[in-house]
Amino acid sequence: MKGLKGRVALVTGGTGLLGSAIAMRLAAEQAIVAVSSRNLSKARAWAEEKEKTDAKYIPVQLNLADEKSIRSCLDYIEEQASIPTIIVANASLREGVGVPFEKITHSSFTNLFEVDIAGHVLLLRHSVERLAGQPASIVFCSSIYGQVGVDHRIYPEGMAPTPVQYAAVKAAAEGATRWLAAAWGERGVRVNALVAGGVSAAQSNEFVKRYSERTMLRRMALADEVASAAAFLASDEASYVTGHCLVVDGGLTAW
């Protein structure tokens, strides 16, 4: 893909399910990829394992709930390479996702919004400030549940539906995407959202069956399929795309 070779990229939460796939895809396109985790040893172990291929990664610590950590993360990447001109805002606070609706509290919302929205927006603002006019591309990881309702009927007994605060935070990510795209368009910083459908992982067979029936392609996504779309939005192939929400969901939201 055009415009990824040699670029410095940061994938937040880069050791997770989608973050890993996105980081590896960007590295395969010869970007230099900083991979963050709240736990530095985890990021280092991830990078060590993946560097068995010839990709190069910069493992870095980042806690999006802490502005000091955001600044140190950027300092470190700048020291190792340069300020990233690609940022994939992929991290999401998963703790609390399984809590049933009756048990959620104020902090179920505030903790999630603090990390996913406040943390990422501050990370992006600090990065863009340090770019001194260089063009950049930013990809926010959203979800179909930022756009359509959660179908409670597909969750088998004992499995909590995707929670209300998650749907709300993803809708917020898409709002932030458009706001930042408008603010930074003039300086050549593109901001888009990748709206992913459910990714195949260790879900129960019953859930996979019910979820798949809701998609036109009758299956869940592979992490690599979502990563391809992230790489496209980050690359110069998408040079005239900004403020956009690219849906990668096997058709779930299209009918």
Ligand X SMILES: NC(=O)c1ccc[n+]([C@@H]2O[C@H](COP(=O)([O-])OP(=O)(O)OC[C@H]3O[C@@H](n4cnc5c(N)ncnc54)[C@H](OP(=O)(O)O)[C@@H]3O)[C@@H](O)[C@H]2O)c1
**Interacting residues with ligand X (CB under 6 A):** 12-13, 15-19, 37-39, 42, 62-65, 90-94, 115, 141, 143, 196, 198-199
Least Cβ distance, residue 140 to ligand X (angstroms)? 8
Nearer to ligand X, 63 or 137 (CB): 63
Q: Is residue 92 within 8 Å of 143, Cβ to Cβ?
A: no
**What CA–CA distance (Å, rounded) separates 55 from 77?**
16
Nearer to ligand X, 1 or 173 (CB): 173
Least Cβ distance, residue 64 to ligand X (angstroms)? 4
**What CA–CA distance (Å, rounded) separates 87 from 127?**
9
**What CA–CA distance (Å, rounded) separates 192 from 194?**
7
| Residue 135 in tokens | 């063009």
Nearer to ligand X, 3 or 154 (CB): 154
41-to-35, 46, 71, 142, 228 alpha-carbon distances in Å: 12, 8, 19, 27, 27
Least Cβ distance, residue 194 to ligand X (angstroms)? 8
Phi, psi of 212, deg, nearest 5: -60, -40
Q: Is residue 112 within 8 Å of 169, Cβ to Cβ?
A: yes
Q: Is residue 210 within 8 Å of 156, Cβ to Cβ?
A: yes
Q: What residues have CB less than 8 Å from 217, skipping those under 6 apart? A: 250, 251
Nearer to ligand X, 3 or 145 (CB): 145
Least Cβ distance, residue 42 to ligand X (angstroms)? 5
Least Cβ distance, residue 176 to ligand X (angstroms)? 13
Least Cβ distance, residue 227 to ligand X (angstroms)? 10
Nearer to ligand X, 64 or 128 (CB): 64
Nearer to ligand X, 63 or 242 (CB): 63
